[in-house]
Amino acid sequence: KAGVTQTPRYLIKTRGQQVTLSCSPISGHRSVSWYQQTPGQGLQFLFEYFSETQRNKGNFPGRFSGRQFSNSRSEMNVSTLELGDSALYLCASSWVGGQPQHFGDGTRLSIL
Amino acid sequence: QQQVKQSPQSLIVQKGGISIINCAYENTAFDYFPWYQQFPGKGPALLIAIRPDVSEKKEGRFTISFNKSAKQFSLHIMDSQPGDSATYFCAASPEGGSRLTFGEGTQLTVNP
């Protein structure tokens, strides 16, 4: 059974640009959550989607947004990129929401 | 109140020894307590998890001890091996919730 797949693995952008990250959950999983991992702030929850609806949101500015499609795949968008957005962005999926959550290997975003 | 405090920040253990990582939380709404293992370049992988209705859970060399009254839980790795060298994160989430709150992480090094 394939795990959580995130694409691309690496991205380099410049300040002011926008970026879209993609996540394909484990087959059958309907809940997708996104996390940001940085050396300074650690792992922080961004948002969760279930059945194409955002069910929970962390303390991030509105520049961070996401969506989920009918096949449970999810995308995350960051607009007007700032240097501080450089991080590893992780996607996790679970059966119907709740636990356990299984993580992908992330997208490493670097802002120049 | 949403924080999860993890210690130590780093830990060095000899092969065959016991590794112990501790976490403490404040939010009594937390109902699910997983531990994740993360290798460089990889996403966190679920190791073992516990709910407050039990005080201990063991899976192979990994044991979680849970003290509900003290709001503390710990991970014990028995017979530690060099392959266990990784970063370990404790986490917590409320009942039925997907929003994981992570500890700061512990960098474990097991010397041969």
Q: What is the mean pLDDT of each run of 10 residues along chain B (112 residues)?
A: 89 98 95 96 96 94 96 98 98 87 97 96
Please report the pLDDT score of residue A98 as a whole number.
Answer: 73
pLDDT at residue number A99: 81
If one counts every other C-beta atom within 10 angstroms of the C-beta of residue B23, the result is 26
Q: What is the pLDDT of residue A34?
A: 98
pLDDT at A96: 77
B32 touching chain A per CB within 8 A: yes
- Give the C-alpha separation, B57 to B76, whole Å: 10
Check residue B2 and give its pLDDT. 66
Q: Would you state the pLDDT for residue B96?
A: 73
Question: Count of A–B CB contacts within 8 Å?
Answer: 63
CB neighbour burial string for B1-15, b if at least 16 within 10 angstroms, e if fewer: eeebebbeeebebee
Render pLDDT for A26-66 as a digit per residue (tens, 0 to 9). Answer: 999 999 999 999 999 999 999 999 999 999 999 999 999 99
Cross-chain residue pair A101–B97, CB shorter than 8 Å:
no
- At A2 the pLDDT is 82
B34 vs A contacts (CB less than 8 Å) = 99-101
- Local structure of residue A95 (DSSP, 8 states): S
